[in-house]
Amino acid sequence: MGHLPEGTKAGVRAAEAFFPKRLVCNFPDPEALATARRQLYRRPAVRRRLLPVLANLPVGFFDRLVFDRELHILASASASGPWVGTPGEIDVGAHDSYASCGPYLQDADTFALNLPLGSWLIRLGRIAIELAPPQAFAGIVIHECCHVDRGHKIDAGTGAASTQRREDDVVGLACQLGFREETAAYLDFYRETFGDAGIMGRLPADCASAGPDS
pLDDT tens-digit map of 103-121: 888 888 888 888 999 999 9
User: What's the rounded Cα separation, in Å, for the pair 72 and 112?
Assistant: 13
User: What's the rounded Cα separation, in Å, for the pair 100 and 186?
Assistant: 20
User: What's the rounded Cα separation, in Å, for the pair 186 and 135?
Assistant: 7
User: Average pLDDT of 23-43?
Assistant: 77
User: Average pLDDT of 68-92?
Assistant: 84
pTM of the model: 0.90
Percentage of the chain surpassing pLDDT 90?
Answer: 58
- Please choose, from the candidates 113, 122, 118, 126, the residue with its C-alpha nearest in 3D space to the C-alpha of residue 78: 126
What pLDDT score does 142 carry?
98
pLDDT digits (tens, 9 = 90+) for 161-179: 888 899 999 999 999 999 9
What pLDDT score does 143 carry?
97
What pLDDT score does 181 carry?
95
Q: Is the pLDDT of residue 32 over 70?
A: no
User: CA 2 → CA 6, 83, 162, 180, 194, distances in Å?
Assistant: 10, 34, 28, 8, 26
What is the overall mean pLDDT for the chain? 87
CB-CB neighbours of 165 under 10 Å: 12
pLDDT digits (tens, 9 = 90+) for 121-133: 999 999 999 999 9
